[in-house]
Each structure stands twice: as C-alpha cells, then as structure tokens.
Structure 1
Amino acid sequence: MKKRFLLAALAAMPLLATAAAQPYLFDFIQGKQTGQAYRQLIAGHAFPAWVSQGGTSSPANTLTIKGVRYQALFGCKPHNCPAQSIAILYSPERGDIHGVYSRYDEKSDRQTLTWLNLDATDDAAMRKILFNRLNGDVVE
C-alpha cells in the first residue's frame, strides 16, 4: 500500500511543479525583477490600489509570440472583475512587459482601455492576445 501511494505521489510531482511554476499576478509583483518591471509599467497612471497589489487573479499561462516566450497574466478588481481588470504579457528572457487596463462603466455601457507599453505601431497580435486575456481567454 505504501509503495502505491509513493508511486502515485511521484507520478503527480511534475503536475505540481508545473502548477507552481505559473505565478499569479500577486506572486509576479512580489518578484524582484518582475515586480520592478510591473511597477514601471503602471507608473504614472492613476489606477486603483488593487492594480498595484494584483487584485484577484488566476495562474499565468505561457505562450509564444513571433518566437518569443511570454507569460500571460491577469488580475481584476476584487468582487467586481467586469468593472476593472488588467492583462500583462511578460517575456522572462527579454524582460519585455506590455499590458492593457480595462475599465467598464455599466451606466454608459462603455469600456475604456489603457494600453501599457504599446503604441499604435505595435503588433496587432499582441494587442489581440492582451484583450482576449482580459476576457478569460488563456490561449497557449
């Protein structure tokens, strides 16, 4: 019986390691290098306090854009995700970070997007991935 339990536990180890390797936005912000990149990304904006803390989030997922590996992260306003959310793309190899902050006004039925570290000439694919991440799409 002990041998079966040990074998089952050893078989599950890769799954646990994979889950642990994917940080939540809160964890990402706590990292020395990643936290600094994130703070620089949101600096100069009058975002709500939850943004600097990570809010409610889900584990990051990894994807590749034009041969570059990125972590896709998401956070939202606690107890009201549809009202405010943020999506981040971060490349651990390059240190590149990009994002989009969304604010939805229910009364006017209007969504306002603030693009972070992206300009009009940036890749439309990256914008699409960020926008989709706001809506829960975790493309891999």
Structure 2
Amino acid sequence: MTPLIMLIDDDLVSQFDMRIKLKRHGLTSEIISYDCPIEALRWFEKWKESNGVFRLPSVLLLDWQMPKMNGFEFLEEAIARAIPLNEMDIYMASSYSNCLDEAPDEIKSRVKKRFIKPLSISNIKLLYTNLCVKEKL
C-alpha cells in the first residue's frame, strides 16, 4: 500500500514545492494537503468517524508558523482529540532554525525532525528512508 502523507502549510507555494519534491524524489505516495490546520483537524475527526475507510497518514509534514493555529498548537489539539500521533512520523518544516526551542517537551518528543524550508532533496530522502524502515517493522 502506498504511504499517505499529509502536508499542513498555509503557504501554498511551499506546499506546492514540497508536493513536487516528494513526488519527484521519493517513493510513490498519496499526498493530501491543507493550508489551514483547523481543516486538517476536521479531516482527522472524519477519519475517526470513518471506521477504517480513511487511512491514517504515515507522515505528517507540518509548518510551524501559520495563522489561527501554529504547528505546536495543532499537535496539542490533536493530542487533546486523541488523534494517534504516535502512529505517524511527524516532521516540522520552518524557515526558522530555532522553531523547536519553544515547544513543550511533549511536543518535541513527537517531532521526528525539523526541516528548514525549502525542503532539500536530502530531507526528502531522509523522510522516505525513515518511512521505509518503519513500514518493514
């Protein structure tokens, strides 16, 4: 089964760039994207109601700074809503190298890696390598 990747980034240009790089340099995958973290939370609520019709993403690639809710707030809200984040590889994408410094320890522990935007090819390869290792376990 092809992995499902969810992108959450309010910048449509960054979203487009990530989507292109993921498709061009990675394994075949299905990508869903949201420019609003609140809409992404609604998708997870629909996933919970779907009784297995929707697949849970294998990878969550999340922007740090977004209007309405930043990446940390999104993860805190997902935890509060009992979204099984431990079943996903979570990556934080940001233009700021210190974005994880402000995160609570519980959030830091759930983020596998922070990527500087725009994503490099080595970041994409790392993401897919981690995904392949996880799928084999």
TM-score (norm 2): 0.30
The structure with more radius of gyration: 1
Structure (1/2) with the larger strand percentage: 1
| Higher relative contact order, chain-length normalized (CA < 8 Å, sep 6+) | 2
TM-score (norm 1): 0.30
Structure (1/2) with the larger helix percentage: 2
